[in-house]
Amino acid sequence: MEKYIIKGGVALNGTVDISGAKNAALALLAASILADEDVTIENLPDVSDINQLIDAIAMIGATVNRVDRHTVIINGKTITSYVVEEEQMRKIRASYYLLGALLGKFKKAEVALPGGCVIGARPIDQHLKGFRALGAEVIQDHGMLNASADNLMGTHIFFDVVSVGATINVMLAAVKAEGRTVIENAAKEPHVVDVANMLNSMGADIRGAGTDKIRINGVEKLHGTVYSTIPDQIEAGTFMCAAAATGGEILVRNVIPRHLECITSKLIEMGCTVIEYDDAVTVKAGDFIRSAHIKTLPYPGFPTDMQPQMAVVLSIANGTSTVTESIFENRFKYMAELSRMGAINKVEGNTAIITGVGGLEGAKVSAPDLRAGAALVIAGLAAEGFTTVDDIVYIQRGYERFEEKLTELGAIIAKVDSEKEEMKFKLKVS
């Protein structure tokens, strides 16, 4: 089993280029099958979630041409099946986007219930509510979701809770429905806007993405397009936190600074210096990291996917901080792993209380999910001594060339898969 081994205590300095946004790219890939012409998607991150979804799209019969690591051409005209099997989808939550896309294209879809990180219940009731409002019958049977409709009709949908997945999924289903669909209490995340922009470039008529009210006028058909995925806000935030935690200075390139404002403002509040450019930000750690209070909220609030990385920085801040998680109830599993490294924290319900310590110590830890895994790597980089992070398969789901990018910033880190390799690394860097 592969793991990271890290020798910490080195300030990260230099420049890092951010990959395309995983969460946006997954939805764009699903959207591409709605057309019967070539859809070229550029700036894809080369991570396991993306590669698995591309494989799943090929398995239902779409023509898939992988031009290079970051570009794919997909044509949905050749799709022969509307069934996405469990085996393909067990590891990746975004499988559910194929439900909306296949329903929108064929008026029927059968997709296995999604997998992904175990960070709490992610109910898909709002997705199903949206499909039913459009006129589909949805049945859950033996771990499969079966949706079908004689015809999809535009309608007015009000989501009970803000859901990125449901907003995107209903957009995919409604884009070719008859008449007008209005989605109220819609998610405003950048990747919702990205999906709407790509669909519009394919001939869709979607207005209001990025607000809480999205209007979709159904169209008869969609055509091909060439579209580039937005930069990954969470990957960018992860490197920003790595600069803060290690006492370094990093220029984070290929970003949209506006998407990072909630992270930027929190780091400034904690004593870091952040300079914004047109498509980059520089983060310089402060000499004195102050405590802070964080509450995760839907965009433009503080993202739940940045909560673990920020908690690592707060673990070495001066004073007591609180982190309140309002999205996923099981997101604090990593706190026990941080405690192994000398962090002082206590979880009460959906709030973690973190008492800053002078420094962390290297230890053996395991990644419980994607973002927590990245956070533990940051903790290892900031800690004294050696840290090993197990279960890095989670991290590889969402970060491209993670250890290579960190190495280029001065980190002493390696991916190993045996005790022997681990010992060789320790001898080499000691």
For the annotated catalytic residues, the residue numbers are 117
Nearest-angstrom CA–CA distance, 347 and 96: 32
Residue 427 buriedness (CB in 10 A; 0-12 / 13-18 / 19+)? exposed
The residues, any chain, with a CB within 8 Å of residue 32's CB and separated by 6 or more, are 39, 41, 57, 74, 76
Backbone angles phi, psi at 280, to 5 degrees: -160, 160
What is the widest separation between alpha-carbon atoms in the chain? 68
Nearest-angstrom CA–CA distance, 101 and 115: 18
Dihedral of alpha carbons 301, 306, 307, 309, sign: negative
211 DSSP 8-state letter: B
**Residue 183 in tokens:** 């989605």
Nearest-angstrom CA–CA distance, 235 and 252: 10
Tell which residue, 1, 52, 2, has the closest CA to residue 22: 52
Report the residue count for the chain: 430
The residues, any chain, with a CB within 8 Å of residue 430's CB and separated by 6 or more, are none
Tell which residue, 284, 287, 293, 346, has the closest CA to residue 319: 293
